[in-house]
Chain A
């Protein structure tokens, strides 16, 4: 490898001059990284001024300079898109150094949403997942990758429908921004995972709480910002391909992207990914019908320079996901059988075939954006985006209807937005923005099943102002936002349902047509919401910093909470929305302590979130139909408190050995009824030990231990049901959380260069001990165990 390295240097170096006299036998090597997200910087120049030696970093961001003389080095590291960095170093042996470069602020705004964001949310609890970490999840979901952040968990339906949970909150309480576009994809359902391709993101920011007002004011849980991969303004053609294969589910995944950039600022890039898996396996049985078939691509192009630019973006994603066959049940009696039997009622041999029940979701996104810098004022940006989300859910049906979707929804969203950032004085930055949107949901009546979500039109307008001031080691940010939402729906109600909800007394004026057994009604809602955020960052010294933050957020009820009206086969329950639901209001107070030194990185994030009129689902009784008995779940509102602490510590024992721990503890309480909130993630702690050796081709090996405690605080929603076939009353235990569990994961890899190509190979085993477990936040925990051992091999090629 050494000779290969030397060959590379010869290729990369234009000159190598020698200095005579001293002991000039040392090697100075290292890696140049972006200080924001630790991604590698290709083509940076490393120059030893006083010895007149230089080189540039290769495709892996690494450099090596041989024959360096003993003594002091005066070094300058520069890159086209970055500020040059100067520092001195005394060399007495072969030296390896990691060099962080800061991008030009200007350049950053144009290319990297994160940098802009990082600036905006310096005073909130934000964590960034870098490109390298995301690569490990190229065959997984957004929800899986986000669990890298302490305090973020997921609520699952099986293992392929994974929704992020930030500090105990999920679905409509989390806002996802993809490439500057707020994702609109029917995020209200637990079994509706975000329709994004993780491979199209360069990095991902997770901001806890509604403190990024430019994205929206209703993200009571938090904001997920998927940033596009970085753009380097130079003539270049580069790309990346990741192949991975797993034994569990016999999953194969391929993701590739290609970028062409020019020094003038033009760029074009494309991204494509494909994933296919069959039935996954728990340690003791196959999870029949849990396969997934997913593909997507995106194209982007545009022109970016300091004073003006534009970009257009298009993405398409298709996800066909099988739902565990055994989780499709009829009545509460079937649910009792499933819970009591402990194993799935249907276990077949492995198959790639995805049968019903399944979902087939297609999401398209188009975006056009332009910006212009107005001299001595700031930057003006204008954006238009359109999203089309088609959701088909297939059920096991009678009479040859299984090929007809039981749910067929198309959600179209148009948004126009503009913002102006006044940043001529870097100590006082202001940003104002306005946006307007129109959304239409169409529920296809050809399904032959009553609509779960009705047809509706929704208009919204938002206006916000945010500001940031820095003085004497303090950084203060403040922002306020106003949102107006208008919903105009047309919904059919069975007359019996309409009357049982007492709508005949309160809403008789909205009936527009009588169809005999049902009414067509026209509910209209107007919601005016104010949100605000303020934060203070105090840098005590270079190592210690403190952040305090307060966020006020209001969230208007979503269509599911207002209108939902139907039977969910996976839970033998009838879910009912409520036209009387009002917006919920969150007051979130948080404090963060950070310590950063060369050996130790520590962050402690604590928060208290008071949510007034918290909207939640609760069983309210049972209803009998010809099919049998079902539990009715109603949306209700209570006042709730959430309190939590998330810690993250990394300790570099030496340059080869790193240990780390991430833990989070959360309490959620319904204070009206003095009881615990449902679906609150239990205590979790993840410890890992990593051994790495840079000069063994970046070899690393790590062991990770995940401990998930049992959730001991939960509301008791158990009930008894009469099982006619056995003539007994049986307890339906839908509340008791499963036991805690402990999992071990192993991972190892290395990389090497072949001419201009860097190849990385990684091998990992998840659930090393093949432990059988069930997770409290998995909707299929009533029916089957979670995934068993999984071997995975991944090949990554950077070129």
Chain B
């Protein structure tokens, strides 16, 4: 009856294993979430900074991001810098450095509707000589109302046609960030 003994041992061990603990699980530290994108536009030749921001403090949760657009002056060139933050952590973690460290795998794209700004990549290229786009310059063009969309692609095909010039159409990869800002480009007010 060795087998019965074996089975008895098996049963007992099952029951032992089964006694579960009452420890509560620990919350997951969400390191990869980007809650905030802040774009600071500094006018070349002086003037105050304009800050565009999208903040989504519940990450993939149901709340939509709070998006703050801005008003630009017509025919003005701005130097722009993007900062990405994870504000679920305290203090907030700067994600821009992660993107910069993996420059080959990331690229920002800028598109506009309703207005006609031109965007130029500035700052350091990645190790393959392709743009990353954490900094760029924006020439606002003529007055109007419209939107600017900033997209961050992960693992885009930077060698595809037009991609290094900032054309997103052939970029592929997956979208990490996609934010549309309402923008007003204001003509120079002439005092009468």
Interface size on A, residues (CB 8 A): 64
Q: Is A457 part of the binding interface, using a Cβ–Cβ cutoff of 8 Å? A: yes
The answer to whether A626 touches B32 (Cβ under 8 A) is no
Q: Assuming A334-B174, A500-B61, what are 19 further A-B pairs, CB within 8 angstroms?
A: A329-B174, A330-B178, A386-B17, A396-B174, A398-B32, A398-B98, A399-B95, A399-B98, A399-B101, A399-B102, A448-B30, A448-B31, A451-B28, A457-B20, A500-B62, A520-B24, A626-B178, A630-B60, A727-B113
The answer to whether B59 touches A625 (Cβ under 8 A) is yes
Would you list which residues of chain B between 1 and 15 have a CB under 8 Å from chain A?
3-4, 6-7, 10-11, 14
The answer to whether A416 touches B14 (Cβ under 8 A) is yes
Would you list which residues of chain A between 466 and 514 have a CB under 8 Å from chain B?
490, 492, 494-497, 500, 512-513
Known: A416-B14, A496-B62, A724-B180. A328 touches B174 (CB 8 A): yes
Known: A333-B178, A368-B10, A440-B20. A398 touches B65 (CB 8 A): no
CB pairs A–B below 8 angstroms (11 shown): A310-B3, A331-B175, A396-B174, A443-B25, A450-B28, A624-B65, A626-B55, A626-B56, A626-B178, A628-B178, A727-B111
Instruction: Report the separation of the CA atoms of residues A454 and B26 in the bound assembly, to the nearest whole angstrom.
Output: 11
Q: Is B155 part of the binding interface, using a Cβ–Cβ cutoff of 8 Å? A: yes
Instruction: Report the separation of the CA atoms of residues A221 and B108 in the bound assembly, to the nearest whole angstrom.
Output: 48
Query: Which residues of B are at the interface with A, using a C-beta cutoff of 8 A?
Result: 3-4, 6-7, 10-11, 14, 17-18, 20, 24-32, 34-37, 54-65, 88, 95, 98-99, 101-102, 105, 109, 111, 113, 147, 149, 151, 153-155, 157, 168, 172-180
The answer to whether A496 touches B58 (Cβ under 8 A) is yes
Q: Which of A328, A490, A626, A727 gathers most chain B CB within 10 Å?
A: A626
Q: How far is the CB of A631 from chain B (nearest CB, A)?
A: 13
Instruction: Report the separation of the CA atoms of residues A463 and B33 in the bound assembly, to the nearest whole angstrom.
Output: 47
Known: A397-B32, A449-B32. A454 touches B62 (CB 8 A): no
Q: Is A569 part of the binding interface, using a Cβ–Cβ cutoff of 8 Å? A: yes
Known: A384-B14, A386-B14, A517-B88. A448 touches B28 (CB 8 A): yes
The answer to whether B36 touches A626 (Cβ under 8 A) is yes
Instruction: Report the separation of the CA atoms of residues A609 and B24 in the bound assembly, to the nearest whole angstrom.
Output: 42
Q: Is A80 part of the binding interface, using a Cβ–Cβ cutoff of 8 Å? A: no
For residue B174, which residues in chain A have a CB less than 8 angstroms away from its CB?
A: 328-330, 334, 396, 569
Instruction: Report the separation of the CA atoms of residues A414 and B3 in the bound assembly, to the nearest whole angstrom.
Output: 19
Instruction: Report the separation of the CA atoms of residues A443 and B59 in the bound assembly, to the nearest whole angstrom.
Output: 20
Find the B residue at minimum CB distance from A329: B174
Q: Is A419 part of the binding interface, using a Cβ–Cβ cutoff of 8 Å? A: no
- Nearest 4 A/B pairs, CB to CB: A330-B175, A628-B178, A330-B174, A438-B18
For residue A539, which residues in chain B have a CB less than 8 angstroms away from its CB?
A: none
Instruction: Report the separation of the CA atoms of residues A624 and B66 in the bound assembly, to the nearest whole angstrom.
Output: 10
The answer to whether B175 touches A333 (Cβ under 8 A) is yes
Instruction: Report the separation of the CA atoms of residues A490 and B23 in the bound assembly, to the nearest whole angstrom.
Output: 10
Q: Is A574 part of the binding interface, using a Cβ–Cβ cutoff of 8 Å? A: yes
Known: A368-B10, A414-B14, A497-B62. A399 touches B175 (CB 8 A): no
The answer to whether A567 touches B175 (Cβ under 8 A) is no
For residue A530, which residues in chain B have a CB less than 8 angstroms away from its CB?
A: none
For residue B54, which residues in chain A have a CB less than 8 angstroms away from its CB?
A: 626
The answer to whether B30 touches A490 (Cβ under 8 A) is no
For residue B17, which residues in chain A have a CB less than 8 angstroms away from its CB?
A: 386, 412, 414, 438
The answer to whether A515 touches B178 (Cβ under 8 A) is no
Instruction: Report the separation of the CA atoms of residues A443 and B27 in the bound assembly, to the nearest whole angstrom.
Output: 11
Q: Is A518 part of the binding interface, using a Cβ–Cβ cutoff of 8 Å? A: yes
The answer to whether B176 touches A627 (Cβ under 8 A) is yes
Instruction: Report the separation of the CA atoms of residues A569 and B173 in the bound assembly, to the nearest whole angstrom.
Output: 12
The answer to whether B25 touches A520 (Cβ under 8 A) is yes
The answer to whether A398 touches B27 (Cβ under 8 A) is no
Q: Mark A433-459, 1 if CB is under 8 A from B, else 0.
A: 000001010010101111100110100
Q: How far is the CB of A100 from chain B (nearest CB, A)?
A: 35
The answer to whether A494 touches B58 (Cβ under 8 A) is yes
The answer to whether B28 touches A725 (Cβ under 8 A) is no
For residue A623, which residues in chain B have a CB less than 8 angstroms away from its CB?
A: 62, 64
Find the A residue at minimum CB distance from B99: A398
For residue B34, which residues in chain A have a CB less than 8 angstroms away from its CB?
A: 626-627
Find the B residue at minimum CB distance from A330: B175
Q: Which of B14, B24, B60, B109 gathers most chain A CB within 10 Å?
A: B60
Known: A449-B30, A626-B35, A727-B113. A517 touches B58 (CB 8 A): yes
Q: Is A345 part of the binding interface, using a Cβ–Cβ cutoff of 8 Å? A: yes
The answer to whether A725 touches B168 (Cβ under 8 A) is yes
Instruction: Report the separation of the CA atoms of residues A727 and B4 in the bound assembly, to the nearest whole angstrom.
Output: 73
Contact of B176 among A330, A370, A438, A449 (CB under 8 A): A330
Q: How far is the CB of A571 from chain B (nearest CB, A)?
A: 12
Contact of A450 among B6, B10, B30, B111 (CB under 8 A): B30
Q: Is A734 part of the binding interface, using a Cβ–Cβ cutoff of 8 Å? A: no
The answer to whether A445 touches B24 (Cβ under 8 A) is no
For residue A399, which residues in chain B have a CB less than 8 angstroms away from its CB?
A: 31-32, 95, 98, 101-102
The answer to whether A445 touches B29 (Cβ under 8 A) is yes
Contact of A627 among B20, B149, B178, B180 (CB under 8 A): B178
Instruction: Report the separation of the CA atoms of residues A630 and B3 in the bound assembly, to the nearest whole angstrom.
Output: 56
For residue B31, which residues in chain A have a CB less than 8 angstroms away from its CB?
A: 399, 401, 448
Q: Is A346 part of the binding interface, using a Cβ–Cβ cutoff of 8 Å? A: yes
Q: Is A382 part of the binding interface, using a Cβ–Cβ cutoff of 8 Å? A: yes
Q: Which of B95, B147, B175 gathers most chain A CB within 10 Å?
A: B175
The answer to whether B30 touches A626 (Cβ under 8 A) is no
Find the B residue at minimum CB distance from A397: B32
The answer to whether A454 touches B99 (Cβ under 8 A) is no
Contact of B25 among A310, A328, A438, A490 (CB under 8 A): A490
Instruction: Report the separation of the CA atoms of residues A624 and B149 in the bound assembly, to the nearest whole angstrom.
Output: 14
The answer to whether B63 touches A496 (Cβ under 8 A) is yes
For residue B109, which residues in chain A have a CB less than 8 angstroms away from its CB?
A: 725
Q: How far is the CB of A10 from chain B (nearest CB, A)?
A: 44
Contact of B175 among A386, A443, A627 (CB under 8 A): A627
Contact of B155 among A396, A494, A626 (CB under 8 A): A396
The answer to whether A496 touches B28 (Cβ under 8 A) is no
Would you list which residues of chain A between 499 and 558 have a CB under 8 Å from chain B?
500, 512-513, 515, 517-518, 520
